[in-house]
Structure 1
């Protein structure tokens, strides 16, 4: 289980996250306890991802003649992922919904009207639809940065928005791996779009 502060690359991307404040007097769950906390939908997608990863490792040993079979199996795998994502989206989610703006293997950033207290621990459910990621983990508030504050001092408190940085404190190693791969995938897409934009007349 990931519990250190190893720095990872992060990328700007929109996603949805649900936050539930974790009691100060409650210890964070162990790896087995965290797995037990997973709802059915997240447990299914976690198991499917693990099976897919094992299969892809085996498929790498195939020669070029089997490439069409590998591509077909990847397509079927993606279909299953999409169905599971749809099922998860229909479920009721515990916690307060927030808008994510950046993610990576070390943590996430969210934006909203509320200033979260630095040091507080939260249980979160994270959904990155485009990358077919849905996971549950724990984070700690490390910083808040004010953005979009009104020039009118009387309304500044009401109009202020905050970029909040959340560091992972308890997350499964397999989920960190998913996030790292997804951040690289998003970065590649950004670079591709940028090149296409530069070529456009």
Structure 2
């Protein structure tokens, strides 16, 4: 899904094996652990609340507001943390990988440890990627912007993080559809 986000990349040595899922979990900083736990609890709770009747709508709305407040506080905490690696601007994300924009061309097949932050969807995760393609951002532009767009495929990611990315992608898509519908109706 096309959407801006931040990605922090740290090169991963070719001679070093990728961590196992258990080792990846052990690498998670406290901020990411907190966000993942909150998102899991929230998801479980919302599933249960969907079975309530319309009279519970006020309670559900209140709980969503409380959840949003917690999300904002956690996002603030995450943004203040030190991030390992070089910061890149993300352009697309999905369940199988991401695309980032950079001032230098990345080397195909290079491995990176990466921390993703998709602020609007409160997604923050740590995973590993391989560069599959890195090409000029606009190859038809005669002025040569000097920027590159690189596709990165997930090589080690927690299953729960894949689910978060897919849900976030659907959420962003729904928001974009609503905005287009509003724009058409106001025209």
TM-score tier, shorter chain, comes to over 0.9
Give the structure-1-normalised TM-score.
0.87
Q: Distance in 1 between matches of 2:142 and 2:65?
A: 51
Q: CA–CA distance in 2 between the matches of 1:88 and 1:51?
A: 19
The CA deviation at 1:148 is 4.1
RMSD of aligned Cα (Å): 1.5
Query: Which of 56, 59, 68 is 1:66 aligned to?
Result: 56
| Structure 2 residue aligned with 1:6 | none
Deviations for 1:156-176, whole angstroms, at most 9, x for unmatched residues? 6xx521110001111111111
Secondary structure of the equivalent of 1:141? strand
More displaced stretch, 23-32 vs 55-64:
55-64
Question: What is the TM-score with the length of structure 2 in the denominator?
Answer: 0.94
User: Are 2:171 and 1:185 equivalent residues in the alignment?
Assistant: yes
Distance 2:185 2:66 in 1: 34
- 1:17–1:126 contact (8 Å) kept in structure 2: yes
SS of corresponding position for 1:185? helix
State the match for 1:145 in structure 2: 135
1:85 and 1:198 map into 2 onto residues whose CA distance is: 33
Q: Which ranges in structure 1 are unaligned for 5 or more consecutive residues? A: 1-10
How far the C-alpha of 1:25 sits from its partner, in A, is 0.9
